[in-house]
């Protein structure tokens, strides 16, 4: 319940985690239009 007792801290940690994983997230979020290589494509 500590995170709930301090919402700002939890939110700050969440954003910090997102920014920390931004590099890895780019590889997962960017290819959303084509998560898998189409078999018909070269």
Confidence (pLDDT) at 12:
76
Long-range CB contacts for residues 26-31, cutoff 8 Å, separation at least 24: none
* Most distant CA atoms of the chain, gap in Å: 53
Q: Where would I find the H helices in the chain?
A: 2-5, 7-20, 22-29
Token output for 40? 């018909």
Give 1-42 pLDDT, tens digit per residue: 455 556 667 777 777 777 776 666 555 555 555 555 556 645
Does the global pTM surpass 0.85? no
Q: How far apart are alpha carbons 27 and 35 in whole angstroms?
A: 10
Confidence (pLDDT) at 25:
53
Q: Phi and psi dihedrals of 39, rounded to 5? A: -65, -30
């Amino acid at each position: 319940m500590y995170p709930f007792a301090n919402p700002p801290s939890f939110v700050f940690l969440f954003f910090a985690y997102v920014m920390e994983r931004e590099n890895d997230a780019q590889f997962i979020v960017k290819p959303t239009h084509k998560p898998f290589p189409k078999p018909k494509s070269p």
